[in-house]
Structures are given as C-alpha cells and as structure tokens.
Amino acid sequence: MKLGFVGLGAMGRPMLGHLIAAGHELAVWARRPEAAAEAARAGAAVCATPAELAARSEVVFSVVTGSADVSELAFGKHGLAEGFQPGGVHVDMSTIAPATARELAERYAAQGVGWLDAPVSGGAVGAEAATLAIMAGGEADVLARVLPLLEKLGSRVVHIGPAGAGQVAKACNQLIMVAAIEASAEAMRLASAHGVDIAAVRQALMGGSAASRVLEVMGGRMVSRDFSAGVEARLHHKDFAIALGEAHRLGVPLPVAAQVWQQLNALMAQGGGRDDTASLLRVLESSSGV
C-alpha cells in the first residue's frame, strides 16, 4: 500500500521501519529536516506538507505529542484533510483527548475519509520489537482495512469501540501504569530510608505478588539511578491532564490518580520533564531532604 507517516520520534522511527520492511511504499512529512533525512535513508519519500503526504497516501499514520498537534496536522493550513481523497484513512497513534478524536472523526467523515484513534502501550522497546498493545477506536470496517498494517506494529490489537474509545482505553492504561511507577518509587524510598539494599528488595518483590513489568523496568532504573528518558515524564504529565480532565467533565472520582498527578506536577516543577518517569523517586527524595 501507499502509506504516509508523521512523527519520527522514538516510537515513530521503528514503526516506519516495520512498514517499509513489510514491503509498503512509505512517504513522510517532518518538521525537523534531520528526521526527514533519516527517513529518506530508510527508503521513504519526503513530502513538503501534510497535504502533499495525504494526497499520495491511502493511509496516513501519525504519532505526535498532543491533541492540538493532531488537530493542526489534520485540519490546519496545508493539513492532511486538504490532500486526502475520499476513502483515505488517518490512523492516529498519539495519546490525545477522546473528545478531540471524536471531533476529528466527524470532520473527516464529512469528506469521506476514515479515522482510527489507535494509541499504544509498550514504549520504545515495544515499538522496536513490534509488540505494542494497540487500542483502537473507530468504525469496524476502517479497522478491518488497516488491521494487517497494525499487526506489523503490535502483537495485540483490540477494537475498543467507536471513535474516541481507543483514547479512553489509553487513559485507563496510563492511570494504572503511572500509579504503579509511583508505588514502585515509594517502595524504593521506604527501603532506602531503612538502609536496606533496594536492589535486593526489588529482586525479592519480583518473585512475589508485587511483581510487574513496571517494577521490573522502572524499578530497575530506580536501582541503577538511570533516569535518562525511556518515556519522558512530561508525556505522562500530559496524559494525566487528559485523564483528570475527563474525570472532571464526567464527575468521576479518581483519588489515586489525583495524588499521582500532583507528584508529576512536582517533578515538572523540579525540571524533570525530559527525564524518565522513574525519576518520581527523586521527588520523594527531595521531599524527605535526601
């Protein structure tokens, strides 16, 4: 198929590579010339605008930062909507507000273009290994059309429901995952305050009911004090803004999430937005004077 791709960061670069390796004809649009040049070396054509990209593509994938970015990409000046032909599909794999996903789906439908919100879980490691969990929101026939492509990017694709439903599932994923990161940080801080070897504590916990992928990966980073970004904390902070915004709109109490968001706020205030979210440990340490 003729495919387009926007968003050549830590997640997007390996996704692009998997689609090229599967034999599809890829084109990209990128704000950063160096990102476009890297994609060109991988075998992708480079377009001058999103509209040009959409005009030559049957399906366009995007993995960008937030709701405003996706809206601008789709319907801004020289946006994808200007180039799509009827029957084209925009698969957005970013993490954005459910309301934004619904609005974009409706606007695209008016011009005969399909939409799928398909946020992912698994991080850069999952993107590299093509083992991402993909949560899809949109029409079933649109998903059926792009499913063979998504299966090149992830090991699990679940149709959650109509447009926006994928983003609801992603918000739920983030609530659980980041709360577990905070819980791991608190456990490591308590062990450290006792003067106990936190590596040994983590090793013991990994053999019991507290074991989790979060404790394995994020706990490992806390033990080694490697806070270089796997996923930048600012992105989880953004995701919690979406989740808590939905909670406010719907009147849904999320007491644990609210506390975790405050810890993320503190991390942002400390200048840790570009560090890994495992650096929530440092918020606890600074609070106790360590």
| pLDDT single digits (tens) 122-168 | 999 999 999 999 999 999 999 999 999 999 999 999 999 999 999 99
Clarify whether 170 is annotated catalytic: yes
- The amino acid occupying position 11 is M
**Does the fold of domain 169-287 match that of domain 2-161?**
no
Q: Please check whether residue 98 is in contact with residue 167, taking contact to mean a CB–CB distance below 8 angstroms.
A: yes
- Parallel, antiparallel or unpaired: strands 132-138 and 114-117: antiparallel
Q: Which CATH architecture has domain 2-161?
A: 3-Layer(aba) Sandwich (3.40)
Which residues are registered as beta bridge partners of 28?
5, 46
Decide: residue 99, CB within 10 A, 0-12 exposed, 13-18 middle, 19+ buried.
Answer: middle
Q: Please check whether residue 64 is in contact with residue 73, taking contact to mean a CB–CB distance below 8 angstroms.
A: yes
Decide: residue 33, CB within 10 A, 0-12 exposed, 13-18 middle, 19+ buried.
Answer: exposed
H-type helices in the chain, by residue range? 12-21, 33-41, 50-55, 67-75, 80-83, 98-109, 123-129, 140-150, 165-193, 198-205, 213-224, 233-250, 255-269, 280-287
- What six digits make up the tokens of 265? 């706020």
Terminal Cα distance for the chain, rounded: 55
Q: Among 75-79, 106-110, 125-129, 229-233, which stretch is predicted with the lowest mean pLDDT?
A: 229-233
Q: How far is CA 263 from CA 21, 37, 132, 207, in A?
A: 41, 38, 27, 28
The predicted-structure confidence for 202-256, as pLDDT tens digits, reads as follows 999 999 999 999 999 999 999 999 999 788 999 999 999 999 999 999 999 999 9
User: What pLDDT was estimated at residue 107?
Assistant: 98
pLDDT at 288 over 80: no
* Mean pLDDT (the chain, rounded): 96
Decide: residue 4, CB within 10 A, 0-12 exposed, 13-18 middle, 19+ buried.
Answer: buried
Phi, psi for 160 (deg, rounded to 5): -80, -40
2, 77, 152, 170: the catalytic one is 170
Dist. CA 111–CA 201, nearest whole Å: 57
Q: How many residues does the chain have?
A: 290
User: What pLDDT was estimated at residue 196?
Assistant: 97
Q: Does domain 169-287 have CATH number 1.10.1040.10?
A: yes
Q: Where are the domains of the chain?
A: 2-161, 169-287
Residue 270 gets which letter from DSSP?
T
Dist. CA 252–CA 45, nearest whole Å: 46
Dist. CA 133–CA 71, nearest whole Å: 24
Dist. CA 258–CA 5, nearest whole Å: 35
What is the pLDDT confidence band of residue 289, given thresholds at 50, 70 and 90? low
Phi, psi for 175 (deg, rounded to 5): -60, -45
Compute CA 215 distance to the chain's CA centroid, rounded to the nearest angstrom: 20
What is the pLDDT confidence band of residue 290, given thresholds at 50, 70 and 90? low
